Structure 1
Amino acid sequence: MGIMEIIGIAGSVSLLAGWRLYLCIFATGLAMRLEALPVPEHLTSLAVLENPWVMGIAAVGALAEFFADKVMWLDSIWDAVHTFVRPVGGALLALAIVDPGDPTTQVIAFLLGGGAAFASHAGKASARGVVNTSPEPVSNFAVSSVEDVATIGLLYLAYEYPYAAGAIALVLLALTIWLLLLARRIIRRVLGGGREGNV
């Protein structure tokens, strides 16, 4: 596996960890345990994800996140708490994917993985904050369900097709930037409208 494929996988997994950290850990560990995800020799550090304790804790976290993320405003509280957790998790996942024999690459992967996870987390949290302004709970449930399915599907694609992982990472990054810009525009429109009404 070449450096571009490794960077693509690390980027994709880090970005997805910003959405669903626990699900990424659990799904990767399960795929490895079921031997659906053959791990190259230089990715042996990922084997820790198939440890029963790691998988169990990740499963509990993924289940809690699944339900918390469907409830209006509880999802925003969950996201606020995980502002500190997801970037670290994304950085550690990226670190586990790169060659452990190259300290420079490890530092770069850690920094970029953490940054990518934080960016996607910020995009998700901002978009969900905007969705929460809707008075009905259906949109919240629908958006959360799409995120669940997208995370599993994109994670599978990133691992199964390493050559496409870089493209997946770029699409996820573009989506993150779009969500941040959309949330910013909506928030400015809401705040601007509120000021006009007070004048």
Structure 2
Amino acid sequence: MEVVQIIALSMGVAWASGINLYATVFMLGMLGSSGHIVLPPGLEVVTDPLVMFAAGLMYCVEFFADKTPGVDSGWDTIHTFIRIPAGAVLAMGAVGETSQAAELMAFLLGGGLAAGVHATKAGSRVLINTSPEPFSNWATSLGEDAVVIGGLWAALFHPVIFLVALLVFIIVMIWLLPKIWRGLATVFAKLRNLFRRPQPALPPAGNGDAEQADKSPR
């Protein structure tokens, strides 16, 4: 594989894993086992029927969980500990049999990219879930599925286009993450105030002394 293809595949699997890990693994397994692409040795494991079955089953579960407001945020929270390390491992496997330095670099960059993408996805979902209607949630989830499939296809067959689009995505993500963080802080502050017990009103200081003075004999 050429260097550009290796970089595109490595960063592509890390980026896609941050959005939908199971769709990423299943798509790579399908394309590799059908002969449409030649995977590097480090990624050939995804063509194993057991891996494809597990990825396909979990994708079916995620398909419905990801479209249920509230459940999707819980799902994203759990997958913080799954998507990020898996994205790093897939990125490292995508560089093939190269030097250990290249594998470590791919692992670090892939893990960082997967973490940023996952944080953007999970934070955006929390904000979207504040809307009372479920249609925006469904549309966002379906859009994410389509983006993962289209992005991986571009990384495999049009690596230069994918890398340019990825650079634009990273710039937008860096600009968007602080805004998402401020939005989350506002949402959590409102929830905290909603469940906080109201404090009983205290009488103004000094009123009791004045009343006692009025009742005392003159």
Aligned partner of 1:22 in structure 2 is: 22
Paired letter, 1:62: Y
SS of the equivalent of 1:84 reads helix
**C-alpha distance in structure 1 between counterparts of 2:134 and 2:175, whole Å:** 23
What is the total number of aligned residue pairs between the two structures? 195
Matches within 5 A, 1:106-121: 106-121=103-118
The question of 1:83 aligning with 2:80 is answered yes
**C-alpha distance in structure 1 between counterparts of 2:186 and 2:84, whole Å:** 29
**C-alpha distance in structure 2 between counterparts of 1:193 and 1:74, whole Å:** 20
Which one of 50, 67, 71 corresponds to residue 74 of structure 1?
71
Bigger Rg, which one: 2
| Alpha carbons of structure 1 residues 91 and 191: separation in structure 2 relative to 1, 3 Å | closer
Structure 1 residue runs of 4 or more that deviate by more than 6 Å after TM superposition: 191-195
**C-alpha distance in structure 2 between counterparts of 1:18 and 1:38, whole Å:** 23
In 2, are the aligned partners of 1:87 and 1:118 still within 8 Å (CA)? Answer: yes
In 1, are the aligned partners of 2:83 and 2:118 still within 8 Å (CA)? Answer: yes
Gaps of 5+ in 2: 193-218
In 2, are the aligned partners of 1:124 and 1:179 still within 8 Å (CA)? Answer: no
Aligned partner of 1:46 in structure 2 is: 43
**TM-score (ref. length: structure 1):** 0.88
Aligned partner of 1:150 in structure 2 is: 147
Paired letter, 2:12: S
**C-alpha distance in structure 1 between counterparts of 2:191 and 2:30, whole Å:** 49
**TM-score (ref. length: structure 2):** 0.81
| Cα-to-partner distance string for 1:113-167 (whole Å, 9 max, x where unaligned) | 1111011000000000000111111111111111011111111111111232322
| Alpha carbons of structure 1 residues 5 and 23: separation in structure 2 relative to 1, 3 Å | same
In 1, are the aligned partners of 2:42 and 2:96 still within 8 Å (CA)? Answer: no
Matches within 5 A, 1:1-199: 1-39=1-39, 43-187=40-184
- Larger deviation, residues 155-164 vs 185-194: 185-194
Aligned-pair distance for 1:178?
4.1
In 1, are the aligned partners of 2:13 and 2:90 still within 8 Å (CA)? Answer: yes
In 2, are the aligned partners of 1:79 and 1:125 still within 8 Å (CA)? Answer: yes
**C-alpha distance in structure 1 between counterparts of 2:142 and 2:90, whole Å:** 24
Q: Percent identity?
A: 38
